[in-house]
C-alpha cells in the first residue's frame, strides 16, 4: 500500500509540487489582511525598499532638481488653495452665503519621491520614501501639483505604498463641481469612470471633478480630473462618464502626501475620546 502511494507520488510529483505551491499561494492571498502577514510584508518591504531607494537615488542623479521640487511643492499648495477658492465661488453664487471651511483651508503637505512603481493596467501602486517617521499613516491622500494621485495603503517606518487612482480596487466618492452631482469613480483597466449617473443630471464634457464632501477617504475639494465624455448605457436612462485625471499618474516622480485623517478615523478618535472622558 505504502509502496503504491509512494510510486503514485513519484509518478505525479510535478503535479504535487505545483498543487502544494498553489495551495500555499491561495492561503497567502486569503490572509492578505491578516496582521501577522502584514507585518511580514512590511518587514520585507522595508528591507527591499532601501535597495530600491538606493537605485532610485542613482536615477535621481540624472533627473531631479531641488528648485523644481520646491516649485512643485508650492504649486501643489496653490492648486489646493485655488480649488478651495473656486469651490467657495460656486457656493457663494448659489447660496449667497459663506460656508465655514476653516477646518479644511490649510493642508499639511509632505513632499515624497516615488522610489518604485508597480504598474499593471489594473493595479497601479507606488512605493514612496516617506513613512511613519514623517507621521505618515495609512489612508492619507497623495497628490501632485495638479491633482489627486492616490491613497496610502501600507506604511513602514521610512516608506509607504500608495495605491493610485489607476488601481481597480480603489473607489472614490467624487462631486462634479459645477452642478454638485455626486458619484463613485473607479478605474476599469482602461479609463477612470463614473457609473450610473442619470441622464437628467447636468453634466457636460469639461466639467471639473473633485473629491466629495461625502468621501470617507479623502478631504473634500481635492481636484481629480475633468469630464471627458458621457456614454449612455443600454437603456439610455443612465450615463457612464469617463474622466481624464489632472495628475500625471504615469509620469509621477515627486508627490505630496496630505497629512489628513479621514472622516472615519476622526469619528473613531472622537468616540474614543468621549469614552475615555466617561
Partner 1 sequence: MKSFAFLKTVIFGILLILLQVTAVHFIAIENIVPFIPILPLVYYTLLNGQIFGTISGAIIGLLFDIISGGLFGGGMLALSTAGFITGYFYGENKIDINTRSFWFIVYLFTATFVYSFLYASLSSNNPNITFLSLIIFEGLMPAVYTSIIGTLFYLFISKRD
26 binds partner 1 per the rule CB under 8 A: yes
According to CB under 8 A, which one of 6, 8, 9, 13 is a site residue for partner 1?
13
* Measured CA angle at 256 (ends 156, 60), to 5 deg: 80
Distances in Å between the Cα of 261 and the Cα atoms of 137, 163, 230 are 8, 16, 33
* 8 Å CB contact between 102 and 134: no
9 binds partner 1 per the rule CB under 8 A: no
| Least distance (Å) between residue 222 CB and partner 1 | 22
239 binds partner 1 per the rule CB under 8 A: no
192 binds partner 1 per the rule CB under 8 A: no
**Residue whose CB is less far from partner 1, 107 or 187:** 187
Residue corresponding to grid cell 496653490:
78
Distances in Å between the Cα of 69 and the Cα atoms of 40, 54, 209 are 33, 19, 26
Decide: helix, strand or coil at residue 195: strand
According to CB under 8 A, which one of 65, 108, 188, 202 is a site residue for partner 1?
188
According to CB under 8 A, which one of 29, 98, 102, 235 is a site residue for partner 1?
29
**Residue whose CB is less far from partner 1, 117 or 146:** 117
**Residue whose CB is less far from partner 1, 169 or 179:** 169
Query: Which sign does the torsion angle of CA 110, 114, 119, 125 carry?
Result: negative
99 binds partner 1 per the rule CB under 8 A: no
| Least distance (Å) between residue 242 CB and partner 1 | 12
Query: Which residues, 6+ apart, have CB-to-CB distance to 271 below 8 Å?
Result: none
According to CB under 8 A, which one of 6, 11, 25, 81 is a site residue for partner 1?
25
Of 156, 158, 197, 192, nearest in space to 179 by CA: 197
CA atoms within 13 A on the CB side of 229: 4
**Residue whose CB is less far from partner 1, 7 or 121:** 121
Residue corresponding to grid cell 486569503:
30
Stretch that binds partner 1, among 36-44, 69-77, 261-269, 270-278 (CB under 8 A): 36-44
127 binds partner 1 per the rule CB under 8 A: yes
Distances in Å between the Cα of 63 and the Cα atoms of 86, 130, 153, 185, 253 are 34, 20, 27, 33, 10
Which stretches of the chain bind partner 1, using CB under 8 A?
13-14, 17-18, 21-22, 24-29, 32, 37, 41, 44-45, 48, 51-52, 55-56, 59, 115-125, 127, 153-154, 161, 166, 168-169, 186-190, 193, 195, 250
Amino acid at each position: 500500500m505504502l509502496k503504491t502511494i509512494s510510486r503514485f507520488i513519484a509518478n505525479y510529483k510535478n503535479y504535487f509540487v505545483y498543487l502544494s505551491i498553489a495551495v500555499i499561494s491561495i492561503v497567502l492571498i486569503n490572509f492578505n489582511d491578516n496582521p501577522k502577514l502584514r507585518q511580514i510584508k512590511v518587514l520585507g518591504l522595508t528591507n527591499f525598499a532601501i535597495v530600491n531607494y538606493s537605485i532610485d537615488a542613482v536615477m535621481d542623479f540624472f533627473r531631479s532638481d531641488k528648485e523644481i521640487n520646491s516649485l512643485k511643492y508650492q504649486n501643489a499648495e496653490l492648486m489646493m488653495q485655488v480649488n478651495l477658492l473656486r469651490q467657495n465661488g460656486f457656493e457663494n453664487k448659489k447660496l449667497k452665503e459663506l460656508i465655514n471651511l476653516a477646518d479644511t483651508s490649510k493642508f499639511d503637505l509632505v513632499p515624497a519621491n516615488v522610489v518604485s512603481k508597480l504598474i499593471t493596467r489594473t493595479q497601479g501602486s507606488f512605493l514612496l520614501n516617506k513613512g511613519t517617521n514623517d507621521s505618515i499613516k495609512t489612508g492619507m491622500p497623495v497628490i501632485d501639483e495638479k491633482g489627486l494621485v492616490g491613497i496610502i495603503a501600507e506604511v513602514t517606518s521610512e516608506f509607504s505604498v500608495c495605491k493610485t487612482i489607476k488601481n481597480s480596487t480603489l473607489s472614490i466618492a467624487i462631486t462634479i463641481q459645477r452642478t454638485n452631482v455626486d458619484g463613485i469613480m473607479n478605474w476599469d483597466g482602461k479609463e477612470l469612470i463614473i457609473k450610473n449617473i442619470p441622464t437628467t443630471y447636468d453634466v457636460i464634457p469639461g466639467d471639473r471633478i473633485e473629491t466629495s464632501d461625502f468621501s470617507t477617504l479623502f478631504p473634500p475639494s481635492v481636484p481629480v480630473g475633468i469630464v471627458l465624455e458621457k456614454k449612455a448605457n443600454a437603456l439610455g436612462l443612465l450615463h457612464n462618464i469617463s474622466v481624464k485625471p489632472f495628475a500625471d499618474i504615469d509620469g509621477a516622480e515627486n508627490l505630496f502626501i496630505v497629512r489628513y485623517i479621514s472622516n472615519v478615523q476622526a469619528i473613531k478618535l472622537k468616540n474614543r475620546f468621549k469614552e475615555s472622558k466617561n
